[in-house]
Homo-oligomer: A and B are copies of this chain.
Amino acid sequence: MAAKPDVQALLFDVFGTVVDWRSSIVDELTRFGTEKRLQADWAAFTDDWRGLYQPAMDEVRSGRRPWTILDVLHRESLDKLLVKHAITGLSEADKDHINRVWHRLKPWPDTVEGLTRLKSRFIIGTLSNGNVGLLTRMAKNAGLPWDVVLGAETARAYKPLPQAYLASAELLNLAPGQVMLVAAHNGDLAAAAKVGLATAFVARPTEYGPHQSRDFKADRDWDVVTDSFIGLAKAMGC
């Protein structure tokens, strides 16, 4: 960290970096399907759901659609996929429960220990495309000890738009260089670096399960490159 002595806050990408969304959702939907006697390929369903994530945000990023939080985008995608996968007979309460699986994602094994160590020395928070309500409930469910919940909703801009990063730093009264983005995705880090944030890459090579096609490793010399939040804590002197 000699190169980044000014960092006061570490802000984290969440889906994939902090929590294992794919295994969490496949596991929970598989249990739900068994209880409800529903037949479906829940892994394919989960991958399809995540597949609609970027296109849904693109409608908002482009300005074709006014600001809309991720819970709403997730629900619209879910409704499409229930048709595509021919899953029928669910009540409104069932659909709402399924949609809120994103509030119940499980952390990677090293997440909570790493965050707890980092919290002793830095402000730690989210910088996620998830909405504040989603991230707050996820933190309570998973025991994530955030100091502050920031991201697309507080910035009114989805990553990787520059405003998502800059507004998050500004909300902490920090210059971009005093904030480090932690992410498992090179593209997210590239966008953050472009507007002046410090960067840490944490490899999560199983995020997409058998379909992982990229982000196996750092594709640039980010300020920190590691493979767990424990490694990150050590690199940051915690």
Does A40 lie at the interface of the complex (its beta carbon under 8 Å from any beta carbon of B)? no
Per-position binary interface string of chain A over residues 96-139, scored 1 when its CB falls under 8 Å from any chain B CB and 0 otherwise: 00000000000000000000000000010100000111101101
Whether the pair A148, B132 counts as a contact (CB closer than 8 A) is yes
Per-position binary interface string of chain A over residues 143-185, scored 1 when its CB falls under 8 Å from any chain B CB and 0 otherwise: 0001111100110000000000000000111100000000000
Does A71 lie at the interface of the complex (its beta carbon under 8 Å from any beta carbon of B)? yes
Q: Which residues of B contact A148 (CB under 8 A)?
A: 132, 136, 148-149
Q: Which residues of B contact A172 (CB under 8 A)?
A: 132-133, 136
Complex alpha-carbon distance, A147 and B137, angstroms: 9
- A123-B136, A136-B148, A147-B139 known; A71 vs B173 contact (CB < 8 Å): yes
Whether the pair B171, A133 counts as a contact (CB closer than 8 A) is yes
What is the count of identical protomers in the complex?
A: 2
What residue in chain B is nearest A71 (Cβ atoms)? B173
Whether the pair B71, A133 counts as a contact (CB closer than 8 A) is no
Does A31 lie at the interface of the complex (its beta carbon under 8 Å from any beta carbon of B)? no
Size of the chain A interface, CB-CB below 8 angstroms: 23
Does A140 lie at the interface of the complex (its beta carbon under 8 Å from any beta carbon of B)? yes
Complex alpha-carbon distance, A133 and B8, angstroms: 12
* Neighbour of A133 across the interface among B69, B131, B153, B173, CB < 8 A: B173
Binding site for B on A (CB under 8 A): 69, 71, 123, 125, 131-134, 136-137, 139-140, 146-150, 153-154, 171-174
Top 9 A-B residue pairs of the complex, sorted by shortest distance between their CB atoms: A133-B173, A132-B171, A136-B148, A133-B172, A148-B149, A136-B147, A123-B136, A154-B154, A140-B147
What are 29 A-B pairs at a CB distance below 8 A? Answer: A69-B173, A71-B173, A123-B136, A123-B137, A123-B140, A125-B136, A131-B171, A131-B173, A132-B148, A132-B150, A132-B171, A132-B172, A133-B171, A133-B173, A133-B174, A134-B173, A136-B147, A136-B148, A136-B172, A139-B147, A140-B147, A146-B147, A147-B149, A148-B148, A148-B149, A149-B149, A153-B171, A154-B154, A154-B171
